[in-house]
Amino acid sequence: DSGVTQTPKHLITATGQRVTLRCSPRSGDLSVYWYQQSLDQGLQFLIQYYNGEERAKGNILERFSAQQFPDLHSELNLSSLELGDSALYFCASSPQAPRYEQYFGPGTRLTVT
Amino acid sequence: ILNVEQSPQSLHVQEGDSTNFTCSFPSSNFYALHWYRWETAKSPEALFVMTLNGDEKKKGRISATLNTKEGYSYLYIKGSQPEDSATYLCALSNSGGYQKVTFGTGTKLQVIP
């Protein structure tokens, strides 16, 4: 158990809908990362927050957004969902970034039908 | 776009054999190199973070080296065991105002008892 929690574990929704994925980092970690793993692709970095501020952005679509709250938990919002958004979404946390180990949560499996 | 390449893509070794794989990356703007171990149906687990040219890290039978000038890192497993079977990922963090994390596609290791 890495100490990072993600909810929900599984999510099934229809195209065009909007969902929110939640991540609670390990106690004391200030940095949160979001990653997407699609069926035919490796891990893709989406976005990173550090102590409430956006720090780095990867291949995140404009339909996706994220934020980190004062209690350091983070949410990833996915809107106007398409079939291709079906993937495993991981959150990871680290004390600082990016020269520290990242601890991954169990992931949220999103299925868009 | 950063190109992080790992080789080989997959590898089968006999129990007790030692093995190694490579992660290649652009040497410019290097900031940190991470190695992860990813078992099927689980989350990636951090093995090492390396930041300095010439760094060598070791954890049990697994070790890694880093050459930032020529842009590669090696991961070694000594005396492979069936429980070492997993996908080994490397990830590069680049420096600069907007740091990103780029993962390689991984080396899938299967240790045959």
pLDDT digits (tens, 9 = 90+) for A52-107: 999 888 889 999 999 999 999 999 999 999 999 999 999 999 987 667 789 999 99
With a CB-CB cutoff of 8 Å, which residues 18-37 of chain A face chain B? 33
User: How far is A99 from chain B, CA to nearest CA, in Å?
Assistant: 6
Query: What is the C-alpha separation between B11 and A78, in angstroms, rounded?
Result: 36
Q: Running DSSP on this structure, what letter comes out for residue A25?
A: P
Whether the Cβ atoms of residue A45 and residue A57 lie closer than 8 Å to each other: no
Whether the Cβ atoms of residue A99 and residue B49 lie closer than 8 Å to each other: yes
Query: Looking at the predicted structure, is the pLDDT value of residue B1 above 70?
Result: no
Query: Looking at the predicted structure, is the pLDDT value of residue B109 above 70?
Result: yes
φ, ψ dihedrals at B88, nearest 5°: -105, 120
With H, G, I as helix, E, B as strand and everything else as coil, classify residue B45.
Answer: strand
Query: What is the C-alpha separation between A85 and A104, in angstroms, rounded?
Result: 20
CB crowding A25-50: b at 16 or more within 10 Å, else e:
bbeebbbbbbbbbeeeebbbbbbbbb
For residue B93, the model assigns a pLDDT of 86
Q: Do residue B32 and residue A42 have CB atoms under 8 angstroms apart?
A: no
With a CB-CB cutoff of 8 Å, which residues 80-99 of chain A face chain B? 90, 92, 97-99
